[in-house]
Amino acid sequence: MSVLFFHVMRYKQTDPENPNNDRFILYKGRAPPILATWIEVDISRFDLLSARKTELDLEGHPTPRLPFVDTATGSLGQGLGAACGMAYTGKYFDKASYRVFCLVGDGESSEGCVWEALAFASHYNLDNLVAIFDVNRLGHSGTLPLEHCMDMYQKRCEAFGWNTFTADGRDVEALCQVFWQATQVKNKPTAIIAKTFKGRGIPSVEDAENWHGKPMPKERADAIIKLIESQIQTNMNLEPKPPIEDAPEVNVTNIEMTCPPSYKIGDKVATRKACGLALAKLGHANDRVIVLDSDTKNSTFSEIFKKEHPERFIECFIAEQNMVSVALGCTTHDRTIAFASTLAAFLTRAFDQIRIGAISQSNINLIGSHCGISIGENSPSQMALEDLAMFRTIPNCTIFYPSDAVSTEHAVFLAASAKGVCYIRTSRPETAVIYSQYENFAIGQAKVIRRSADDKVTVIGAGITLHEVLAAAEDLSNQGISIRVIDLFTVKPLDSATIIANAKSTGGYIITVEDHHPEGGIGEAVCAAVSMEPDIRVCQLAVLGMPRGGQSSELLDMFGISARHIIMAVKFILMN
C-alpha cells in the first residue's frame, strides 16, 4: 500500500473528493487502518485506539462517512464491480486521466460477483483499472483453497482477459516495476497477484491462523512497534504526485422535465415501455444520464435509450449483481445519473449490492419490470412478488409504482433528482392512460382519482391493480355503491396523511389490492401507517401461495386481485 499510495497514485491529500484524483477501493476485510496513511484529514477522526467505536468515523469496515471512502466496504466481493463503474466512467464518459485501483482479498475472490467484474472489465478494455489481489492464504476462519498457488490466480485472471503480473507483496522495487508496467498496457485491465503473509516479521503471528480481526495483546505491542521501527530505512517525507486535472466539470442536479408527457387519456401503453421512452427523453435533458441493463433491454425497453444515446448505454449482460455495483461506481463523485434496469425478479439476487448502495449513500436508480403475476404466460420464476418487501427495507429508498404512462414519465424524472436509492416498479401489460399530460406528481403524494360524498370504502391500488380497482368502482357504481380510489404513486415514502384522511371519511374502511405477496407489500405498509388509528380497518388483497403461468387476466382472478374480487371484498365489508 505504501508503494501504491506514495509512488503510484496521483491525488491531492487535502482534497479527497477532487474528481481528478486516482480512485482507491479497499474491499478486503479488516484493513481500515491502512487508510490512516493515505489522506491528510483531521487526525482526531483517525484515533486508531478508538476505531470501531461510535464516536469515531473509522468503522471496522469503512463507509463514506469518511470523505475519501467512495463505497461502503465489508460485504466482500463487491469492490471490484464498483471499481469497474469508476473506471468505465473515467475512460468513456469523463475521458480523463485518473486511474482506479482496487485491493481484493484472496478470500473474497471466491465470490461469483468478483468474476462477473473481471469479465466486465476485460470486455470493455478498462486499461485504467488495476486490481491488486492480496494473496496471504488465510481467510476468516482457516486456510483458503488455493493458499499460495500464485500461478493458479494468475491463470484464472489471464483466462478472463486480464494482463496479469505476480509479485512479492513485500518487495518495494518489484511492486514499483509491475505498477509501472500496468501503465504501459493498452486495452486490457491489469491484475497484480501479490504474495503476502499476515503478520509478516512478527514472531508466532506471521502466517498463523486465528488472528483475523484481532488486536495485538498490549503486553506485546511495544516490542513489536520497536521491531517495525527498526526496519524503517529512511526519514523521507513521502508525498503523492498531484493529479492530472482533466476531468470535465459536470452537473447532475436540477433535472427538470423539458416538456409535458405526450400521452392522451385512454392511450394503451405498458409502463415498462413508457419507462424506456422516459429514459430516452431524460437523456436529452442531461448528458450525464446513463442506463445499464442486463441483457433485457428488449423487455425493459431500455433499448429505446440505447438507440438515441448509444454512447451512454452500458450492457452488463446476465450479471445483475455486477450491474448494480457498476452503477454504484458510475455515480461516485457525482459523475453520472445512473439507471439500471432488468426484470424485477432478477434484482432479488442483487439485494446485497443494493443494500451496500444505500450504505454507500449512493444515488442509484433501479428499474424492475415484469412485476407480479400480471406478466402472464411466463413461469413463477419471472414474477416479482417479493421486490416491494425487499426495497421497503432499504434505508432512505424511494419506491415508485406508477400506474400509467404519464405517472411513469414523472417517476423517471423525479428519480433522477432524488437522493438515495430509487426503485421504479413497472408492469408488462398495456394499460390505459388515466392522467392528463399536465398532471403534477411528487414523491410521497398519492392521488385520489375517484371520490364522492357517498363513498363507503377507500380502495388503494397501484400499477396494474389500480386499473382493476377502477373497473370495480365502475361496476359498483352501476349497483349504487360508491367507493373512493387512491393511487399510491410512491409506496415509500407512503402518503399516510391522505390515506388516513380518506379512510376516516369513508367509514374507516380500507381495501388494499396489490400484485405482490402480502408479506412486506402495500397492504402491510398501509397497516403500519394506520396502526395508531383505532377506528380504521384494513382488508388486504394480495397474491397468496405459489403462482403459475397463464393469461394475465385469468391469473389476476385466480389469485384474488381482480375487479371481481375487489367487488366481493367491498360487499363483504358493507354487509358486516
**Average pLDDT of the residues in 160-165:** 98
Widest CA span of the chain, in angstroms? Answer: 92
- Output the pLDDT for position 214: 79
**Average pLDDT of the residues in 558-572:** 98
pLDDT over threshold 80, residue 40: no
- Output the pLDDT for position 60: 65
What are φ and ψ of residue 386, in 5° steps?
A: -125, -5
pLDDT over threshold 70, residue 212: yes
What are φ and ψ of residue 335, in 5° steps?
A: -90, -25
Q: Which three cell numbers stand for residue 251?
A: 452537473
Nearest-angstrom CA–CA distance, 518 and 386: 9
Which range is least confidently modeled, 51-60, 217-226, 354-363?
51-60
pLDDT digits (tens, 9 = 90+) for 502-520: 999 999 999 999 999 999 9
DSSP readout, 344-402?
A: GGGGGGGHHHHHHHHHTT--EEEEEESBSGGG-SS-GGG-BSSHHHHHHTSTT-EEEE-
Considering the chain, what is the average pLDDT of its residues?
A: 93
Give the E-state strand segments of 111-197 in sequence order.
129-135, 163-168, 190-195
Indicate the helix (H) or strand (E) that contains 496.
helix 496-504
- Output the pLDDT for position 192: 98
pLDDT digits (tens, 9 = 90+) for 545-562: 999 999 999 999 999 999
pLDDT-derived band at 218, boundaries 50, 70, 90:
confident
pLDDT over threshold 60, residue 442: yes
Cell 419507462 sits on residue:
275
Residue 217 per-residue DSSP state: P
**Average pLDDT of the residues in 1-8:** 92
- Output the pLDDT for position 331: 98
pLDDT-derived band at 209, boundaries 50, 70, 90:
confident
Strands 313-315 and 430-432: unpaired
pLDDT-derived band at 264, boundaries 50, 70, 90:
very high
Which range is least confidently modeled, 2-6, 173-177, 490-494?
2-6
Using alpha carbons, list the distances in angstroms from residue 305 to 142, 279, 300, 474, 540: 48, 6, 11, 37, 37
- Output the pLDDT for position 378: 83
pLDDT over threshold 70, residue 66: yes
pLDDT over threshold 70, residue 164: yes
What are φ and ψ of residue 575, in 5° steps?
A: -75, -20
- Output the pLDDT for position 36: 63
* Partners of residue 537 on adjacent β-strands: 509
Q: Which of these is catalytic: 320, 386, 468, 524?
A: 320
* Partners of residue 291 on adjacent β-strands: 313, 339
Annotation says 320 is catalytic: yes
**Average pLDDT of the residues in 23-35:** 75
Nearest-angstrom CA–CA distance, 319 and 323: 6
